[in-house]
Amino acid sequence: MSAVEVAAVEEEDDLRRVIDDDGKVISGASVPKISDEQLHKLFDTMLMVRIIDDRMMRIQRQGKLGFYMKSLGEEATHLSVFPLRDDDWVYPSYREQGAWFWRGLTIEQFLNQLFGNKHDPTKGRQMPVHHSANWLNCVSISSPVGTQIPQAVGTAMGMKASGTDQVAMTFFGEGTSSTGEFHVGMNFAGVSKAPCVFVIRNNGWAISTGTEKQTAAKSFASKAVGYGMPGIRVDGNDILAVIQVANEAVARARRGEGPTLIECVTYRVEGHSSSDDPSVYRNPAEPEAWGPRDPLNRLRGYLKGKRLWTEGMEKDISDRYNDEISKYLKLAEEHGEPDVETLFDDVYQDLPWHLKEQKEYLLSQARTKNPHLHN
Amino acid sequence: MPTMNIIQAVNNALRIQMAAEPKSIILGEDVGKFGGVFRATSGLYDEFGEERVIDTPLAEAGIIGAAIGMAVYGMRPIPEIQFSDFIFPAFDQIVNELAKFRYRSGGQYPCPVVIRTPVGGGIRGGHYHSQSPEALFIHTPGLKVVIPSNPYDAKGMLLASLRQDDPVLFMEPKKIYRASRGEVPEEDYTVELGKAKVVREGNQVTLIAYGAMVSVIEEAAAKAAEIGISCEVIDLRTLMPFDIETITESVSKNGRAVMVHEAPQTCGFGAEVCTSLYERCMAHLEAPIQRVCGFDTPFPYSLEHEYLPNADRVLGAIRKTLEW
């Protein structure tokens, strides 16, 4: 753990960092090995999240989309999935768009889910940002926070029992560390030495409730001690540090040495969701103070230093994503809702008699107009 | 053919399934070395090892949460909840997660978890070892709910539950765990889910129950026969989806029915059964359907014998339908 000591910063001496706010490598910090191509892909993904977040919140404000959740300032934490293989599993919460895109979710699939249209991979079953992609081993998102934690551990226990070297990773916010499921999942993982990596996005806020109302512990990472696993605090706005600790945790799990808790210290620059108004409960100076620590800008600085970034390159990426979003947004709006018959699919594998009766009844009735249609 | 009690039949089914399906994993509190507090998993830890018969930490939400994670990954977990009274810490995992996984993921993630749990009163266990919470789970779209009443069905329906892809709450009537004995084939067989069983034929009143209450309505039918009343006895066996055809046919034939369960009456499963029968058999009914259920009180300790339905009370309800 020498990198921790070397990379120490004044006020937070247990916080792992690799680059500073300008993207320069901190003196003595070890830099994870990442190819130029992968560095470009990381930048590309973070930029894409920022663009799509911005576009989606704007159309939400225009009344075209029911709900949205942005990740502004937290994009680097999503890329904790960097060291995972395709056959590893991810249990996300609702604010890790970058993890989905990194694993291969397309903009088209992403937008179709937001609109719950007939091409939504989850068939319009959940509100926006609750994705599911079994072809990517990314598991369906649940709104009640923390439920995915023991589930991820169960998957990891299954991996272990099957004799594979696969790894499960799960994400959640710091507020979720207050749930029973956090305790239960961490404890199961510690006891069973499950190959599971827990990533806390400590973004400072659980809707309107600050971290001091969630724990009296010194840090969220320190909770790992009680479960017999390592807890690592990392600067969640430093993509290189995030990847460095994820590399270590995933490698450790793969070696059969058990779970790790990672606390990514970051900041939720905007509201919890499109339904939130942070001006009611927090000082606007607070998000402003985090501006200089913006994770995309820090990666940009790092790439500049390596001569891997030009303004033209960034503009090309932005234009490409904006065009793609425009194209699929139009289609997503046009596709229309799923057929009414699908309401009864997937409750069970086969339709039991009572659902057959209810389906026949509904189909015999006049169709009800959707009062929430945005076009 | 060997004679087994319900515990032995469950144990036998689990052994067959663990041997036949390497992806099966048993997990729960004290299910490993000890073999479960009722000994349903006895000997399986030694036979299949600690990776497949897991003594978990004491946390029901963890047991079911982990089972869900195993199932979506492709395993076939068989969690045990030590008493169905202890299931509530896992209520969210069962109701919001397990039951909805297939639906909410658009069919991407089926979740074949079979939760075994002892249910019901009659063992002097008081409130926390006696309840019958089945209605809460029948009311949860996505779950199947099974309660066998005898060793043959317990083995066959447990194996059937383990060989289909929907989540099942398999509730075992603990009062008759050892008292109910019968011939059970050694070999592998299944009893189809969703099918009730006409245990006794009769042409005046239809008695409907499940689990430990089946023996109560059988006793009531025998007493009724002594005074010249002919009762048909139906064991529902699967509560979700329940066998509407068998009960509709019987009640249409007899025009009179008594529904019995030990769970509290109000919003109990009997309410759904009765309504379904009124919707289908109204023209054939000679009297209102009677319910003999647990009272709408918490499950008592000292007065358990007064709380639970018994054959005399069922007989009273039978008379009521005839005298109406």
Q: Name the DSSP class of B166.
A: S
Average pLDDT over residues A211-239: 97
pLDDT tens track for A238-257: 999 999 999 999 999 999 99
Of the candidates B161, B183, B205, which is a domain's last residue? B183
Kindly provide the b/e burial profile for residues A307-342, where b requires at least 16 CB atoms within 10 angstroms of the residue's own CB: ebbeeeebeebeeebeebbeebbeebbebeebeeee
Mutation site for B-interface testing, chosen from A348, A354, A361 by largest number of B Cβ within 10 Å: A348
Average pLDDT over residues A110-124: 98
| Residue B313 located in a structural domain | yes
Task: Indicate whether B140 and B285 sit together in one domain.
Answer: no
User: Within this chain, do residues B118 and B208 fall inside the same structural domain, yes or no?
Assistant: no
CATH number of the CATH domain containing B12: 3.40.50.970
Residue B310, in any domain of the structure:
yes
Say how far apart CA B51 and CA A61 lie, in whole Å. 51
- Tell me which of B21, B70, B240 to substitute to probe the interface with A (most A C-beta atoms closer than 10 Å): B70
Which chain A residue has its CA at the smallest distance from B106's CA?
Answer: A122
Q: In the prediction, which pLDDT does B8 show?
A: 98
> Looking at the structure, do residues B38 and B158 belong to the same domain, yes or no?
yes
A348 touches chain B (CB under 8 A): yes
Chain B residues whose beta carbon lies within 8 Å of the beta carbon of residue A142:
96-97, 104
Q: Which of B120, B318, B321 is nearest to B222 (CA)?
A: B318
pLDDT band for position A11 (50/70/90)?
Answer: very low
Q: Is the pLDDT of residue A266 over 50?
A: yes
Q: Is A87 on the interface with B (CB under 8 A)?
A: no
H or E element that contains B216: helix B213-226
Together in a domain, B110 and B204 = no
Q: Is the pLDDT of residue A13 over 90?
A: no
A89/B73 touch (CB, cutoff 8 Å), yes or no: yes
Whether residues A154 and B74 touch (CB distance < 8 A) is answered with no
Most A CBs within 10 Å, among B29, B51, B72, to test the A interface: B72
3-state secondary structure chain A: CHHHHHCCCCCCCCEECCECCCCCECCCCCCCCCCHHHHHHHHHHHHHHHHHHHHHHHHHHCCCCCCCCCCCCCHHHHHHHCCCCCCCEEECCCCCHHHHHHHCCCHHHHHHHHHCCCCCCCCCCCCCCCCCEHHHCECCCCCCCCCHHHHHHHHHHHHHHCCCCCCEEEEEEHHHHHCHHHHHHHHHHHHHCCCEEEEEEECCEECCEEHHHCCCCCCCHHHHHHHCCCEEEEECCCHHHHHHHHHHHHHHHHCCCCCEEEEEECCCCCCCCCCCCHHHCCCCHHHHHHHHHCHHHHHHHHHHHCCCCCHHHHHHHHHHHHHHHHHHHHHHHHCCCCCHHHHHCCCCCCCCHHHHHHHHHHHHCCCCCCCCCCC
Q: Is the ipTM of this complex over 0.90?
A: yes
Question: Which of B157, B183, B209 is the endpoint of a domain?
Answer: B183
Inter-residue contact A182 to A176 (CB < 8 Å): yes
Question: How many beta-carbon contacts under 8 Å exist across A and B?
Answer: 147
Query: Is B296 inside a domain boundary?
Result: yes
Question: pLDDT over 90 for what percent of chain A?
Answer: 95
pLDDT band at A12 (very low <50, low <70, confident <90, very high): low
As averages over each run of 10 residues, the pLDDT of chain B (324 residues) reads 97 98 98 97 98 97 98 98 98 98 98 98 96 98 98 98 98 97 98 98 98 98 98 98 98 98 98 98 98 98 97 98 97
Q: Is residue B189 part of a domain?
A: no
Q: Report the distance separating Cα B314 and Cα B266, nearest Å.
A: 18
Q: What is the spatial distance between Cα A129 and Cα A99, in angstroms, rounded to a whole number?
A: 13
Q: Which range of residues forms the domain containing residue B90?
A: 3-183
In a domain, B192, yes or no: no
Q: Are residues B107 and B213 in the same domain?
A: no
Q: What is the pLDDT of residue A134?
A: 98
Same domain, B164 and B238: no
Q: What is the pLDDT of residue A189?
A: 98
Same domain membership, residue B158 and residue B24: yes
CATH of the domain at B255: 3.40.50.920
Are B43 and B167 part of one and the same domain? Answer: yes
Residues B166 and B227 in one domain: no
pLDDT over 70 (residue A86)? yes
Q: Which amino acid is at A212?
A: E
In a shared domain, residues B153 and B223: no
Residue A375 pLDDT > 90:
no
Q: Which residues of B touch A181 (CB under 8 A)?
A: 61, 65
Q: Looking at the structure, tell me whether residues B51 and B113 fall in a common domain.
A: yes
CB–CB contact A159 B73 (8 Å): yes
**DSSP at B181:** E
Residues of B in contact with A192 (CB under 8 A): 54
Residues B130 and B212 occupy one common structural domain: no
Name the pLDDT band for A374 (thresholds 50, 70, 90).
low
Find tokens 């765990």 and name the residue: B177
Contact yes or no for B163/B190 (Cβ under 8 A):
yes
Tens digits of residue pLDDT in A298-331: 999 999 999 999 999 999 999 999 999 999 999 9
